[in-house]
Amino acid sequence: MSSHDRPTIGIGMIGYSFMGQAHSHGWRNARSFFDPALMPELVVISGRDGAAASDVARRFGWRHVETDWRELIARDDVDLVDICTPGDTHAEIALAALAAGKHVLCEKPLANTVEEAIAMADAANRARADGIRSMVGFTYRRVPAITHARNLVRDGRIGEIRHVRAQYLQDWLTDPESPLTWRLRKDRAGSGALGDIGAHVIDLTQFITGEQLAGVSAITETFVKERPLSGAVHGLRAEVSEGRGQVTVDDAAVFVGRFTGGALATFEATRFATGRKNAIRLEINGSGGSIAFDFEDMNVLSFFDASAPATEAGFTRILVTEPEHPYVGGWWPAGHGLGYEHAFTHQAVDLLEAIAEGRDPEPSFADGLAIQRALAAVETSAASGAAWTPIELVAA
Ligand code: SOE
């Protein structure tokens, strides 16, 4: 079937900032590069600031703009609602979209609380009976080197997993004059570095190992307790404005954990790792080998095969840019490399294919709930002086 004859699916996106634009780019390129079974139509984008939403609509090719997300959900030409708003709105929007019979893609973390995530996972489960699909946007799973790592682990290439080492390091809050954005307010973001970036590495390690994080012992810290209420950020420097407000989330979280298969894990999520911009560092050691990854060199996966003769064994630096590698064949000739934004296209394509084939996409809202429980366990443990805190597991 040529792409002209493909059935279409109307996308309605709520939110237009960083994530809204990353997702817009993903939907556009899903059409152009991957020829999915369902062709996404960029029907409507919504945001309270109509002028800003219109600007994004013009730049990315959204046909219509709404300033009330309820109007977007009510439209007949919207089949899928993509939620790219701060966490405090996810539950309300997702529940309304599912009730209206729309497929849902929701940015991570799924919600701000476990209670909200339970309601969302329940609603998603009920909607499945009517063929309505939901997915949570843990996009980094779709970085080719990470999907390749998952495939190697799934194929038994590193054996039984003993150690999981995961860090997500950023530095954009190093300056104490950096303003108090919504990400620093618990009522809007749920938690700080923990939910924003720690959630990613919890998801990635569970995805790659195929196991669940079963319990944690954690410490968290808020290094800068008060910040200017508003102001612009320029790299690591911020312009100061009048008035200060309290930071109500963590700046950093460090925790140890145990996976369901017995592996011991260490996690670190921080926005204070001066000089580290978006360093997602993963190393997994198994009985038969290891894999290692750093997002700051995102086209590379390091792989150690313990079955090689001792005289030849060593970490192999695999350039994950061959057409045989996950997703890569959709893009450029071998060796040309991909970037941050490509994973958003892979996410869109995987969701479209799942909807077309009538199967559940991953990660599901139930997976999002499991991560929400892990985040809550980290906070509970940190509040009690790092006491060991088990995590309620999801039935496999
Ligand atoms: C901000 O810390 C942020 O944009 C996260 O929210 C994203 O999920 C991550 O991709 C990059 O950093």
Residue 319's pLDDT is: 98
- Tell me the C-alpha distance between 82 and 185, whole Å: 23
- Residue 237: what pLDDT? 65
Q: Is the pLDDT of residue 282 over 90?
A: yes
Give the mean pLDDT of 301-310: 97
Of the candidate ranges 20-34, 57-71, 236-250, 332-346, the one whose mean pLDDT is the lowest: 236-250
**Please, which pLDDT band fits residue 353 given cuts at 50, 70 and 90?**
very high
pLDDT at residue 235 above 60? no
Task: Say whether pLDDT at 3 is over 70.
Answer: no
Report pLDDT for 236. Answer: 60
Span 74-91, pLDDT tens digits: 999 999 999 999 999 999
The per-residue pLDDT for 240 is 61
Which of the four pLDDT bands, split at 50, 70 and 90, describes residue 117?
Answer: very high
CA 137 to ligand 1 centroid distance, Å: 11
Computed on alpha carbons and rounded to an integer, the radius of gyration of the chain in Å comes to 21
Distance from the alpha carbon of residue 303 to the mean position of ligand 1, in angstroms: 26
Q: What is the pLDDT of residues 217-228, one digit of tens each?
A: 999 999 999 999
Whether the pLDDT of residue 379 is over 80: the answer is: yes
Ligand 1 pocket, residue 197 CB under 6 Å: yes
Confidence category of residue 269, pLDDT binned at 50, 70, 90 = very high
pLDDT at 262 over 60: yes
| pLDDT (0 to 100) of residue 242 | 75
Residue recorded with tokens 């196991």: 211
Residue in 106, 71, 84, 75 with CA at minimum distance from that of residue 24:
84
Residue-wise pLDDT tens digits, 323-348: 999 999 999 999 999 999 999 999 99
Q: Quick: pLDDT tens for 187-200.
A: 999 999 999 999 99
Per-residue confidence band for 372, with pLDDT thresholds at 50, 70 and 90: very high
ipTM of the assembly? 0.94
The mean per-residue pLDDT over the stretch 132-151 comes to: 98
Report the interhelical angle of 50-60 vs 18-29 (nearest 10°). Answer: 30
pLDDT tens figures, 149-199: 999 999 999 999 999 999 999 999 999 999 999 999 999 999 999 999 999
DSSP class of 306: T
Query: Is residue 203 within 6 Å of ligand 1 at its C-beta?
Result: no
Tokens at residue 122, please?
């329940």
- The alpha carbon of 326 and the centre of ligand 1 are apart by a number of angstroms equal to 23
Alpha helices in the chain (DSSP H): 18-29, 50-60, 69-74, 90-99, 114-128, 144-154, 186-189, 193, 199-209, 342-357, 365-383
- 47-62 pLDDT, tens digit per residue, is 999 999 999 999 999 9
* Average of per-residue pLDDT across 271-291: 98
Q: Whose CA is nearest to atom 6 of ligand 1?
A: 196
196: Cβ below 6 Å to ligand 1? yes
8-139 folds as Rossmann fold (3.40.50)
Domain map (residue ranges) of the chain: 8-139, 145-390
Q: What's the CA-to-centroid distance between 200 and ligand 1, angstroms? A: 9
Give me 227's structure tokens: 């910040």
* Nearest atom, ligand 1, residue 200 CA: 8
Q: Which atom of ligand 1 is nearest to the CA of 196?
A: 6
Ligand 1 atom at minimal distance to the Cα of residue 170: 2
Mean pLDDT of the chain: 96
- pLDDT tier for residue 394 given thresholds of 50, 70 and 90: confident
Q: Which CATH architecture has domain 145-390?
A: 2-Layer Sandwich (3.30)
With residues binned 3-state (H G I as helix, E B as strand, rest as coil), the percentages for the chain, rounded to 5, are: 35, 25, 40
- The strand pairing partners of 237, in sequence order, are 234
What pTM was estimated for this model as a whole? 0.96
Burial class (CB in 10 A: 0-12, 13-18, 19+), 107: buried
**Residue 123 pLDDT greater than 70, yes or no:** yes
